[in-house]
Structure 1
Amino acid sequence: MEASFTKLWETCTWRQSYGANDLEESQLNQEYLKEGSVFVHNNDVDGKPLLIFRVKLHSKSKNLDELIRIVVYWVERTQREQHLTQLTIFFDMAGTGLATMDLDFVKRIVETFKQYYPNTLNYILVFELAWVLNAAFKVIKALLPPKAVEILKMISKKDINQYITKDNCLASWGGEDNYEFSFVPEAKKVTSKPVAANAGDDEQFDKKGPNLERESAVGSVLVTRLHPEEVGPSVA
């Protein structure tokens, strides 16, 4: 129990310092965001959103902190928009060679999910891994905890439909979806301010609102940490 509360505290501290709850596209590297190397589109067979990494578009010269910030943005945005606690990571390795295979980036992705989103992953799908990258991927696999290895699947066009239906597969994966990535800003929710009896009460609502929202978020994290069986496999 003590370990669970320690992890909860560490996660809450990180979320506050990182600004995870309020992360917006304006705070991100626009070039990285709009090139489409990381984005969310469609769902797996269980209805979980696909967080897609098109590895061939990656460059080892990119700033890893800014890339991870984009990963966090997509996770947070997906949870806000779809009210889901899980998603599937899809590493699109088609056309990827040693020049774009960045072990440091993959390690950072693994550590981010392991530390701050331990029960978020439904599957980790690795699509069309070239044989020249097998050795590198063994290194990555060794970084994963046992429960993450269980949901790690190496797939190709022959068996991708076991995890993603044909209508949810991009054409480049052998599917029916001709989608081409184009970044669409997140729709902003318009919330009406509570009707106040006087100006003093109105000010009080303004002060209490954010606190109540943060308390709700903390409660959600607590359930995830202390009752992981309710939300699926953990990568911790």
Structure 2
Amino acid sequence: MANESIARLRQMFEDEIANNADLYHSIDIERVRTEDWQVKRFLLDQPDMDEKKAFDNLCKALQWKKSFGVHDRTDQSFPKEFWELNSVEIYGRDNENRIIQWELYRNQRTFPELNDITRQFISHCLERVDRTAGEDGFIIITDSNGAGLANVDMDVARYKISIIDYYPGGLRGQYVIDLPWLLNAAFKIILSFMSERLKKIVSTMKSNELSKCVDSKFIPVCLGGTREKNAFPNDLIPLDQHSSLNLSEQFLDRFYKLHKLPRPRKM
């Protein structure tokens, strides 16, 4: 029945693109045609395997990807500091064979000048880890040690939660490590933004508990593991050199000063 449902959804999608091909990216069109998981995930997301709802959600997700330019950016589209300050890495698998994306919370800051590219970065990272994981799914581990209220941005939190729905069956767990007591109230508010289903896969734990679900060779030393190397993409360009962002010298000086980083170069 599942294979028959997949075939029917594919045909529904072919009918859709016959009339509205410009709403979809060619990458997503090809994935629907050739990869069962890119169709099945929307069926499994429906408790009753409702094909109409699955089709509607499939179209909504792929239209969002096209309109937001998810496939138009690469790792190098984003400043080196985004990757390194937030320690965004895909590295290792947990004990249930799910890909792990690692993140660091204490360096996250909100800058109006970076609102658009921040959301693009969040979307890019979600697409990237989802694509790496495939049907096995992935988990996100967030190191919140040392974070404070200055790191909390409810709009960004809402955005992260809202786009998870475009990747049904992808995120299998989110672990918040060493949550400071000062952020307990903010964490409860963020949980209130989530669906009941999403809340069930979010949990907090201490860093010394992490080895119960992840091999220590994948865990960074800062979280009690043995991994010393990082897994950032290659050929990243510093924020200072992303001229397309049209950032002022005053802003760049403020950004690097806040994060206690030297400017890579002066204009």
Above 0.5 in TM-score? yes
Count of aligned residue pairs for this structure pair: 185
Matched to 2:229, the amino acid is: Y
The one of 151, 175, 178 aligned to 1:125: 175
Which shows bigger deviation, 70-79 or 126-135?
70-79
- Mapping of residues 11-30 of structure 1, within 5 Å: 11-30=61-80
Does the aligned pair in 1 maintain the 2:135–2:170 contact within 8 Å?
A: no
Does the aligned pair in 2 maintain the 1:36–1:181 contact within 8 Å?
A: no
Matched to 1:76, the amino acid is: E
In structure 2, relative to structure 1, the CA distance for the partners of 1:65 and 1:51 (3 Å cut) is farther
Over the aligned positions, Cα root-mean-square deviation in angstroms equals 2.4
In structure 2, relative to structure 1, the CA distance for the partners of 1:80 and 1:143 (3 Å cut) is closer
Does the aligned pair in 2 maintain the 1:37–1:57 contact within 8 Å?
A: no
How far the C-alpha of 1:15 sits from its partner, in A, is 1.7
How far the C-alpha of 1:7 sits from its partner, in A, is 1.2
1:53 equivalent in structure 2: 103
1:44 equivalent in structure 2: 94
Taking the aligned partners of 1:80 and 1:150, their CA distance within structure 2 comes to 23
Q: Which has the higher contact order (CA 8 A, sep 6+)?
A: 1
How far the C-alpha of 1:44 sits from its partner, in A, is 1.9
The one of 225, 232, 256 aligned to 1:175: 225
1:94 equivalent in structure 2: 145
Taking the aligned partners of 2:81 and 2:179, their CA distance within structure 1 comes to 26
The one of 188, 196, 210 aligned to 1:146: 196
Once the two structures are superposed, residues 163-199 of structure 1 have per-residue CA deviations (whole angstroms, 9 ceiling, x without a partner) of 222221111111111124543259xxxxxxxxxxxxx
Structure 2: gaps of 5 or more residues: 1-50, 237-267
1:194 equivalent in structure 2: none
Taking the aligned partners of 1:75 and 1:85, their CA distance within structure 2 comes to 15
Taking the aligned partners of 2:80 and 2:206, their CA distance within structure 1 comes to 31
Taking the aligned partners of 1:6 and 1:24, their CA distance within structure 2 comes to 28
Taking the aligned partners of 2:76 and 2:137, their CA distance within structure 1 comes to 25
2:156 equivalent in structure 1: 105
Taking the aligned partners of 1:21 and 1:185, their CA distance within structure 2 comes to 19
The one of 234, 239, 243 aligned to 1:184: 234
User: Percent identical across equivalent pairs?
Assistant: 21
Taking the aligned partners of 1:51 and 1:151, their CA distance within structure 2 comes to 15
Once the two structures are superposed, residues 36-66 of structure 1 have per-residue CA deviations (whole angstroms, 9 ceiling, x without a partner) of 4433222222222222221111112262432
Taking the aligned partners of 1:109 and 1:86, their CA distance within structure 2 comes to 17
In structure 2, relative to structure 1, the CA distance for the partners of 1:176 and 1:34 (3 Å cut) is closer
Once the two structures are superposed, residues 69-119 of structure 1 have per-residue CA deviations (whole angstroms, 9 ceiling, x without a partner) of 2232233334445545521111210110111122222221111112x1132
Taking the aligned partners of 2:135 and 2:127, their CA distance within structure 1 comes to 10
Structure 1: gaps of 5 or more residues: 187-236
How far the C-alpha of 1:34 sits from its partner, in A, is 4.7
1:199 equivalent in structure 2: none
